[in-house]
Amino acid sequence: MFDKFYPFTPLGRKETGLPDPIAVIQYRFNAKHRTYLVRVEEYNFGFCAIKFCDIKDKNNHLSAYQKIFNDGDFFRVLATCVYIMFKLWQTNPSINFVFYAVPRNVTVEDLSLKKIESQSVTDFLENYKRTRFKVYEYAMLNLFPPDEFIQLKDFTNCIYALINRKNNETEMINRLGNFLFKNHDIIFETTRQ
């Protein structure tokens, strides 16, 4: 399912002059229905955050990374982003990754289209909102094996991290946890450029 990806073009790495992210690496690729921009943000505590969007939305500060396109191309688009991560890992064998799988919005229309028993509405809503997270998690397992990476999952907040086993695992986990606790909005804020 995640073995086919689109060819991608590196657009370069740019220092931000900020404490976090310290640099941004960008890629672009043409998919079946649109062109995507992949943004890899490097943080000084040893992690890269991955974000991707339709290139037309790159300046849409409120929803660039939140859109879902139901056009049948998602798995190949995601495979391309994961392969970019894989290539980064090949050039930096001690790299760590973190990403945020934006929860899907649920409307009354969405619920009306589903046949759900009243007692399972809450379960349905929680699963529906976090569908992206489950798919991303599955995609990571294909290229980032457990003997190379520890996979940390925060299902409630839809945060997924890959801790490279070449690092001191306990130290990296503590650093990531502390950073996310204090600065969640720095990584996952949608208004950031």
Domain range holding 121? 8-188
Domain annotation covers residue 133: yes
The single residue listed with the structure tokens 């300046």 is: 59
Structure confidence by residue, pLDDT tens digits, 18-43:
888 899 999 999 999 999 999 999 98
Structure confidence by residue, pLDDT tens digits, 83-123:
999 999 999 999 999 887 766 666 666 556 556 665 576 67
Domain annotation covers residue 92: yes
Domain annotation covers residue 156: yes
Domain annotation covers residue 1: no
Domain annotation covers residue 3: no
Domain annotation covers residue 28: yes
Secondary structure in 3-state letters for 88-154: HHHHCCCCCEEEECCCCCCCHHHHHHCCCCHHHHHHHHHHHHCHHHHHHHHHHHHHCCCCCEEEEEE
Structural domain count of the chain: 1
CA atoms within 13 A on the CB side of 95: 19
Domain annotation covers residue 30: yes
Mean pLDDT, the chain, whole residue set: 80
Domain annotation covers residue 170: yes
Annotate 58-75 with b (16+ C-beta within 10 A) or e (fewer): beeeeebbeeeeeeeeeb
pTM summary value: 0.78
Residues 54, 67: contact at Cβ < 8 Å?
Answer: yes
